Structure 1
Amino acid sequence: MRVFRKIDEVEAAVGDHLGHSDWLEITQDRVNAFADATDDHQWIHVDPERAAQGPFGGPIAHGYLTLSLLPRLSADLMRVDGVKLVINYGLNKLRFPQPVRVGASIRVGGEIASFEHTRQGSRVVVKYTIEIKDEDKPACVAESVRVLVP
């Protein structure tokens, strides 16, 4: 994990790769819990028998489930000390190039893409790539925008 002691160190790290998180297995229980939380019970996610006959040969995680794991996975990459608050400001870009099959493992890598001082605080864009173990295409690519409040 990269630990930044102050905001200026984050600005100096624009362009730096932050490494990778640990791998996290996507289980059917997690997919089902997400389906319950979002009322999205599409068979491709929650019906393993029917999904086995579908285009992916089994159930897949919701794209937004993959995205929702970004805070958990990215916590392994960086921490900024010396700030009062880190605010999730949103996303600039988001894509899901490859579905995540139930039973697969994912991890995230990140790169600090940009930094800007604003009235709210310092706005940092981190480009995250959620990889699927033993797959060529990533599950998710997202530019996450955070505001560091001094």
Structure 2
Amino acid sequence: MKKFLLLASFLALGFTANAQFSAGATFGLPVGDADNGYTFALGLDANYMFESDSAFKYGVAAGFLTYFGDEIAGFEIDNASFLPIAAAGRYGISDKFTLGADIGYAIGLSPDGNDGGFYYRPMLIYGLNERISFNLSYSGVSVDGGTFSNIGLGVMFNL
């Protein structure tokens, strides 16, 4: 039993030693269904990633995403907010560039009746240095009756 506990402790320490937490923000322009009623999108992102080898990382991603409503013919459209929770994968294609994807579910926070939906976010990441990276992404939330999607530019900070 002692050997098992010792082995489990070493494995747990090994996983946490290779884990990396990052946080950042994204500015997006709505496209598709969201293009007509929303002016821009802002997101806050957080990732907790593990390395499986030198090129591939996997983990979890969560955030907060808001689409800001437009005013059309005197009618103001409510902001739409989501809480995306996703599995995340990153694959380094060079020293500076990484391909990534987040896939999961975005919980609808506002307005009333926003039930959320399937969340997906492919991205291209440029690592400026070991602490700062920039990303270009397409983010989508498939909701009943349409899709909230945007093309975004973001910055992430490795903590």
> What TM bracket, shorter-length normalisation?
0.3 to 0.5
Higher CA-based Rg? 2
TM-score (norm 2): 0.34
Quick one: higher RCO (CA 8 Å, sep 6+), 1 or 2? 1
Higher strand residue share: 2
TM-score (norm 1): 0.36
Higher helix residue share: 1
